[in-house]
Each structure stands twice: as structure tokens, then as C-alpha cells.
Structure 1
């Protein structure tokens, strides 16, 4: 008689695995030693050509994948390949092929695990800060308005340094334009929550002596001088379009900061465009428009899985980046651009891997678009993250197993139930119970774990949408002038110093280097890497292995093991 656990496994394979997908390897040649030896030689050749450009960077683009830790990067890489019908592990994200990288320590001054406000302060100003503060040094504690108003506690950002050097500046985000990462480029505040005045009232009259983040963007330097501003956040700016949206940060002072922004540009005879959808964005004449304000949602922009892709909907992050670079490239002195893929983080907080990796793939499309539009001999491009998350990639799934799917067999899993490759250490996906004998988790048989609304299992409960950040190091990938300065484990604040030194601005404005064009084959390798690596040895599109065959093979294997 077969053991109960084996019977359960066989029933699961026959009933629950009928919709399973195993993505094939692009080529079976990786079974051969010659393949790996050849691949190794190619990478050695690339490494020997690794550029060490000492040019002055005319332009700097910082791509910030919010929450895009190493695990998320790996999962996104595999997901991208599987969307192309391949197993995914063998592929690359475009920044994986950058010639230089380092690791960044993400802790805050007062926290082992960071938030996005203090991390933004670090990588945009070169100074580490306390949890939930923005644009101020360690003498300012969370919610200490008085300390944040002291000039000696306020720090300058890369956007301020760039503007002082008469460069044009801009930022693009899929979150609100007042959210932590973009705010780090222009705001000084004791609380990243103070995006509008409503968020400050409950802290009393002392807090109201400070200015909310939205007002700082429109009224103060450097915010009011930023040439390109794109993201969500009409509510914080006092110009919401919907009455049924989240009212958490509706202004109570009656200010319409969008109108104030427009009035200021009009009074100074400056050309501008205020846009709220894709059609309006793409219609901008970037050669004849000095300032662009794009607010595409009342709060955060929608997930890529939910975005209205019509002309009346929200633009893709790639489209925002394309328009931003077209506009900023008009500057004779160059530009600084911050691009945040902010909804990667939001998807992870939801315990929703599908939403997160879809955001990462969209973010990569924006990076690819930028690389096509700039001269990389004079443009430093950095791709990094502010922090990680507590998502893990675990178990022993077979090669090509759907990265969002389930693992059906593992000798290490004591309850014999299937599990997802991607799980979380904490989150509202916590779902365990006690049956009087043992702790029981959900049986994923028949559950579509690849759906955008699937909530992954978590090891520790949190409130809804409150999965936490992770505290491990994140990677910084770099290409362009002075990219070789990323070479080991660095403090996160080092990023701002590299950007300033590379472009000879801010604390490094007395810079002796000159612009020199020294082309390198590595740059073309990076630009063309998708062509090279998306077809790993096969000219035809591989077919997905039928799930019925997988069921049959695994069932036979299980029966043989039982008889043995």
C-alpha cells in the first residue's frame, strides 16, 4: 500500500498541476563543457575591455528601483525571460551588463533597516540621515520640525548642485511627486509624511511652522526651478480630479499648487506644459517648452498590471523618460535626471510578486529607452535601489519553473504541500492555523499564484500593505564617465559623491578633468545585449512543455521512489 503522503502528491500532480508551466531552456547546448568555456572566454574579453572613462559627465541619470533588492532583481530577470517563452535564468536585465557595480549599505543613522526618505537623503545629498526624515542631517530626529528649520541641519542635494552649475534638472516617478524618493531631491523635512498640510495639523502649531513637501516643490528652491516633474500626486498639490479617491492628503488650506506653479511660470514669461494623461504628454513640443509638470493620478500612479493604456490613461514610465530626456537634452550645460520605479516597492508591500516584477520589467524598458537617447561617453547612468524587501527565492524548483508558480516536490518540505518559489518573511499574507495537532498552512493546489492579485504566504503577520523592507546591501550598477568609482561595498551616501565628482559640481566643482571621447566596445555590448542574450542558441521560439507530460513524468517518478 502506498504511503499517504505519496497518494497526496500524486493526486496533487493529477488534479492541481494541470495548468502548470515549465519554461524550456533556449538551448540544450549548455549541457556541454564547450558552451561554458566559450561563455567564460567571452566574459574575460569583455572584462579586459572594461572602460575607465575619466571624462567629465555632462549628464547624469540616476535610475532608482524602489525596493529593488538582489532577490527582486533576480526574480525580475527570470520573469522577463519567461515572458519571452524561455526559462529565464540564463538572461540578463540591461543593467546586469553594465561594466561597473558595487554594493551599498542601506542602514539609517538610527535604524538597521531603512525607509525610503532617509535613503533618498543619503544617495541624493551624500549625507546619511535618520529614519523618515528627508534633506536634513542626523541632528534632526523624526517629527522634530524646529531642528529641521536650522540651516546648519539642512543639506543640499544633487539637484541643487546641478542647478548651481546651470544644468537643467528633472525627475520622473511612478509614485506621487511628493513621495519619499523624489522629495529627497528638493525637500527638507522632519517627516516624509508631511506631503500636505493635512498631514501636519495633528502634530500641533509647532509642526505647522514647517512647510509641507508639496509647497516646497512649488515655492522653494530648488523645487520651483526643476524643469521636468512627472508622476502622481494631484491630491497633495491641491488639484485632484476625483471626489472618490483616498482623502488622506487632501489639502485643508485651499491652495491649488498647480495653479500657483502655472501662475509663477506665466509671470516670469516662461513656457510650460501641464499635462494629466498620455495624449497630452506625447503632444508636448519639447523643443519649445521650458517647464513640464505631469501629474497623471490623484495619488500614486497605477500599477502596470492595472494601467489604462489608452491615450486618456496614464503613460508608461518609458514614455515619461523619453519626453523628459528630449526636454532636458536641450540644455547646453547638460542635465541631471532622477527616474524612480516606485511601484516595485508598493507591489512588494502588498505581498504581490506579480505586480512587483511587472513594475521591474517596465522600469527596465525605461532604462533601455534612455540608453538609446544619450551619448554614453558623456552621460553617467546609475541603476540602483534604496533598500531591499523581505521576499525570498527559496526551495529547489526545477530549471524553468514559473518564477511566480509553485514547487510540487521537495524532500525538505515536511508537510508535503506545494509552495511558491517567492515567499515573504512578513506581510498580510500570513495565513497559518492550528488544527489541534500541528500548524497548518494553505494548500495551493488549484490556486493561480501567477495572478496579479495573488497574495504570497508570509512568515509573520503585518497590517495590510505593510510588508517591511529588508536591511541587506543593494547593488549599484553603473556605466559612463567615472562609473569605475563603484568597485566595492560603499556607504549609500557615496552615490551622491560619485555623481557630483563625475560631473564636477557641488563639492567637486573645482574639477581638473576635461571631456574626452574614448569609445569602448563595452558600450555597444550593453546597448545590444538584449539582441545577443534573448536568443541563447535557438532561432525559433521554443514551445512550452505540455503540463500533461510533466504530470505523467512526475507521477511515474513518485511511484518508482515508493516501490524502491
Structure 2
């Protein structure tokens, strides 16, 4: 063997040894071994619950953060990943910022015609307060998939919290890391029998059956409430007929020759409104939010790049938190308040291609946006909700040791019959299906020497799917809330509950007259000092007594 060959062999062997040995992150505190550690933690959490105020003043502002596909498992795994990446600790003991919100509920995510929902029909639930059929946008259950005619019937067309806010003279906006015509955000402003009707090309194959309907991109620019949205940011230059790069794949190129960005600009100029159209991070940073009425940001041809792949230079695409900062700075100028919808849409896309690392990086970027928003608003007058539209079929399985790299492998387990290493994260279905039969038994790949932490690694899946089409999961998702009326999230709810809490808290839509309802308390003293009301005083007294008793117990244990 040549010296070069020996060197290559040595490198391969070293790599195999490195990657076959699971990385284990240390626990942050040895005190976990002591009983009093957990008693102290339990006492602090009970104290916080006893002292938790119920804000019953009207929410001037509402911000809805929606992590697309961010189900319970994704949330848990992201928490661990955050701890391991940012703190260098085991991660299980950590938290995401919304996990510290004082109120939480579970939401049922089924469709009217499916046990497992898609993003468009879920959007009808949490934005419009109505359960709908699979793959439809902004319409009720009388509209079936592809039924253009039924979607044009007025009583079948839904209004959303975004439109309710506009009718209450509030400013509105939305941000997404997908196309601005994509399913989730489209549910806020559009009505369509097919979520894929984002441009005219996708409608043409349905012939005269879809001819009477308008594509989603046109609805954003031409119709109410779309044309009145003050801040729109995301991807989708192609669907809007204003691409900057011709070589991009044909996702939904317009065939009508319309440049809807130019139409949007003309509309603002005709109405004497100031505006900014931006396509890069540099241009976004240059927006004068104090003197600009409308902002349209389209930062890529289709979706924005994954955070792991994003061009972070000023000529690239902005981070989601940068978009949130500009949006809030613009919207908070409104004397009547605002509604802002922020979607971390590429969490979902990363899970569809079964790329855990990309998905987790998207969650952490999404969390940075939530953290920033919380520093920019007052939660005594702003209701902030963090939720998901549906889950995915990624599982966290086996019995990995505490602190095991969440993207790594487990090398030894008595419960695994073939004795091969396995990843903690697998998928119930996906294109990572990879089993074979050796004549005696079904076998799976040996992961020894495989870098499962790489962003392009595809974990094993239980059932095969077409490429990049791992499916959604149907279990409940969580809703985390802080601010006025956040305590209305308190048990397992229908997903429609989100829309009605936002409306009730802000006195919009079906509750537009709730300021005057005798049964709705509005206490100015609560607004000024939410801990000064009688319930909080009672809670404080109870908390002091409880802490005293526990302290005595600890001293004499």
C-alpha cells in the first residue's frame, strides 16, 4: 500500500472511531442528585402560579407566532438542541422562551374531512375560527378541494383576525419564511378552493372550473384585506410576477404577464401612500419605519433559504428576527394598535425533507424572533401567542443516555435486537426508508462512521414516501400565551379557540363591542399594575404562607 493510501485509510479509521462514539453533554448541576434541588424548584413554580395575575384589560396589540409543523416532539427536541448548542449542557433541563409563558393549552388539529390537517385548513381554524376541509384556504366546510364555484359563495368565505383588526382601525402585517402566498399566511387574507392556486398557471390546468376564481397572489394585491396590509414580508417573487433570477425552478411562474409588485407600487402611488419595496437585508435595514406607510419585502424567488444555508451578508436574505424588528417598529406607530402574524414556515419544509438539523436551526431562529419581540412590546397591553398549526412524524425514541447528542447516535442499547447503533431521531415515514432483506432477516444500515449531525443527513424512516414528502402528524399541538386574556388558554381546546381568544382580547371581529359588555371586566388599576388587584393580593398572601411552611420543612428535614 502506498503512503497516500495508508494515510487515507488512517483518516477513515479515525473518522469512524470519532463518529461511532456518541457525544454526551454534561449535566449543568450536580445538585440534581439532591432531593432538595427538586423541592426548591417545585416551590418556585408553585409560587409563580399563586402570584400569576390575570390581565383583563383590552389587548391593544396581538402578535401570533406560528411555528409551522412545530409539534410537541419538535418543541422538546429543539429545547435539548438549544441547551447543547448554546450552553454546552445536556439540554433536557433547559427551556425555549415561550415555555416560560404563564399560560398553555393543547389544540386539536383535525380537519373536517381529514384526521391529519394541512397548513391551509389549519390556518382557517386559528386565524378565522372555523374548521375547514383539507387543502382549502379561507373558506368553510361547504367548500371542497378544487370547488371554485362554492368558494365564490359569500357565506362560504371567511374573514380572519387580520381583517377584524383592520375593521377596528388597527394596522396589520405578516411575516413568513415561505412564500407570501403560501398556505398559512394566505389563510389570513385569501379565499381559495386550492392552496396551490398561488398564481394563474396553477389554475389553468383546472380549465373553466377554476376560471372564475382569482389566484392567491392577486388577492393579496387587489382585494380586502390583502391590499390594506401595512407590512408583508417573505419569499415568493416568482408567484408575484417579479423574479430577479430566471434560472430558478418553475414553482408557479405567472403566465398572465402581470407584475404584481409593480401593481402594488402603482396602487400606493395612486393613493398618495408612502411605501418601500425591499429584496435584500441591506434594503430592509434602510427602511425608514417612522415615515413609511407600507412595506413589501420579497427576499427570494420562492421560499427563503434555510437558516443553515442563508446568505448572511447584507446582499442576502434577512434573519426572521430582523424582519420582526422592522415590522414592529412600523406597526407600533398605530394609535389603535396592531395585529402581526409571524410564521416560521421553513421548520415545516425541513421536516418534510427529513432534515432534523435544518428544522432545529429554524426553531432557534424563530425563538430569537420571539425573544426580540418581547423586548419591543409591553405584555400588559400586547397579547403574544406562540403555537403550531400541526405536528410532524419525527419521533424521539429509544433510551439514549442523558445529554446524548440529540442529533447523534446511541451505540449501545439492550432493547435494540440487531445491536447496531441508532439515532434518537427517526421518522414514521419519509424518503429515509432504507431496509433490505439478506435472505434471513430484515436489516437496516450500520451507522458506524456516519456523521448523523450533518445538515444533509437523512434519518431512517418506517414507511417510504416520495422524496421530500414526509407527512404531518395528527396529535395535538401546544399554544403558549402571555398578556391580556392569555389565561383563556387553559385546557384542551379546538384549534379555532385561538382566533376567538385573539378577537376577544382585542375587542375585534365577533367581539368588537366587548368594551361595553358588563360581564367583561376592565379594571384600569389592573392595566397600570396587574399585581395590585384583590386576586393577586390573595395570591401573594397564600404564596408567603406556603413558602414559610416549605422553608420550615426544609430546615428540619
TM-score by length of 1: 0.89
Calculate the aligned-residue CA RMSD, in Å: 1.5
Task: Report matched runs for 1:348-427 at 5 Å.
Answer: 348-427=351-430
Q: Secondary structure at the match of 2:339?
A: strand
- Say if 2:451 is the partner of 1:448: yes
- The residue that corresponds to 1:31 in the other structure is 33
Residues of 1 paired with 2:262 and 2:47: CA distance? 56
Match of 1:431 among 431, 434, 439: 434
Cα–Cα, structure 1 residues 467 and 334, in superposed 2: closer, same or farther, change >3 Å?
same
Q: Which runs of 5+ in 1 are unaligned?
A: 1-10, 523-564
Cα–Cα, structure 1 residues 520 and 364, in superposed 2: closer, same or farther, change >3 Å?
farther
Q: Check whether the contact 1:384–1:476 (CA below 8 A) recurs between aligned residues.
A: yes
Residues of 1 paired with 2:429 and 2:16: CA distance? 32
Task: Report matched runs for 1:142-161 at 5 Å.
Answer: 142-161=145-164
Residues of 1 paired with 2:346 and 2:414: CA distance? 36
Once the two structures are superposed, residues 479-529 of structure 1 have per-residue CA deviations (whole angstroms, 9 ceiling, x without a partner) of 00000000111000110000000000110011135473254589xxxxxxx
- The residue that corresponds to 1:98 in the other structure is 101
Q: Check whether the contact 1:12–1:445 (CA below 8 A) recurs between aligned residues.
A: no
- Say if 2:206 is the partner of 1:203: yes
Q: Check whether the contact 2:105–2:489 (CA below 8 A) recurs between aligned residues.
A: yes
Q: Check whether the contact 1:56–1:515 (CA below 8 A) recurs between aligned residues.
A: no
Q: Check whether the contact 1:49–1:520 (CA below 8 A) recurs between aligned residues.
A: no
- Say if 2:87 is the partner of 1:116: no
Cα–Cα, structure 1 residues 18 and 519, in superposed 2: closer, same or farther, change >3 Å?
farther
Match of 1:250 among 227, 249, 253: 253
- The residue that corresponds to 1:260 in the other structure is 263
Q: Check whether the contact 1:16–1:445 (CA below 8 A) recurs between aligned residues.
A: no
Q: Check whether the contact 2:180–2:232 (CA below 8 A) recurs between aligned residues.
A: yes
- The residue that corresponds to 1:534 in the other structure is none
- The residue that corresponds to 2:312 in the other structure is 309
Match of 2:54 among 52, 55, 59: 52
Offset of residue 206 of structure 1: 2.0
Q: Secondary structure at the match of 1:104?
A: strand
Task: Report matched runs for 1:176-195 at 5 Å.
Answer: 176-195=179-198
Task: Report matched runs for 1:71-110 at 5 Å.
Answer: 71-84=73-86, 85-110=88-113
- The residue that corresponds to 1:543 in the other structure is none
Offset of residue 199 of structure 1: 0.4
- The residue that corresponds to 1:542 in the other structure is none
Q: Secondary structure at the match of 1:424?
A: strand
- The residue that corresponds to 1:329 in the other structure is 332
Q: Check whether the contact 1:194–1:200 (CA below 8 A) recurs between aligned residues.
A: yes
Q: Which runs of 5+ in 2 are unaligned?
A: 1-12, 533-557
- Say if 2:232 is the partner of 1:229: yes
- The residue that corresponds to 1:541 in the other structure is none
Residues of 2 paired with 1:410 and 1:388: CA distance? 28
Q: Check whether the contact 1:53–1:518 (CA below 8 A) recurs between aligned residues.
A: no
Residues of 1 paired with 2:254 and 2:126: CA distance? 30
TM-score by length of 2: 0.90
